[in-house]
């Protein structure tokens, strides 16, 4: 993965966000972390993002709404959607929206890194 690639993590759970961020940094991955979708969308370096790891269920804008908004703004960044409630309906919504990876929480950070590397080559 190129050093300039920024992987963004959006999750309202501080522990999840910090765990993923710490693991990715230890693997040499440039990571930016956000507690909600709105903070990511306000980030001045938004178009430096190469992959998004986001929670599905968050206060305010959820993970699928975030993906739709990024597309509306012209970003086709690949998304990994995480949820503690991996219902068949949630999976179907994610697949219908073109989310390449849908993972249940808690998620092993190594698994997430493997998925990011698969998406980015």
What pTM value is reported for the model? 0.94
pLDDT at residue number 121: 85
Per-residue pLDDT of the chain (121 residues; tens, 9 = 90+): 444 679 999 999 999 999 999 999 999 999 999 999 999 999 999 999 999 999 999 999 999 999 999 999 999 999 999 999 999 999 999 999 999 999 999 999 999 999 999 999 8
What is the spatial distance between Cα 75 and Cα 20, in angstroms, rounded to a whole number?
Answer: 23
How does DSSP classify residue 113? H
Dihedral pair phi/psi, residue 39, rounded to 5°: -65, -40
Bridge partners of 31, per DSSP, are 7
Domains of the chain: 6-120 (3.40.50.2300)
pLDDT at residue number 2: 47
């Amino acid at each position: 993965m190129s050093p300039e690639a920024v992987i963004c993590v959006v999750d309202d759970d501080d522990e999840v966000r910090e765990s993923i961020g710490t693991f990715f940094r230890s693997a040499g991955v440039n990571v930016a972390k956000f507690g909600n979708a709105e903070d990511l969308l306000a980030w001045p370096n938004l178009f430096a993002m190469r992959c998004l790891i986001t929670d599905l269920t968050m206060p305010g804008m959820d993970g699928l709404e975030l993906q739709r908004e990024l597309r509306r703004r012209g970003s086709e960044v690949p998304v990994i959607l995480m949820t503690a409630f991996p219902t068949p309906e949630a999976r179907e919504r994610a697949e219908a929206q073109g989310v390449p990876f849908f993972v249940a929480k808690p998620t092993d950070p190594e698994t997430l890194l493997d998925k990011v590397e698969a998406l980015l080559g």
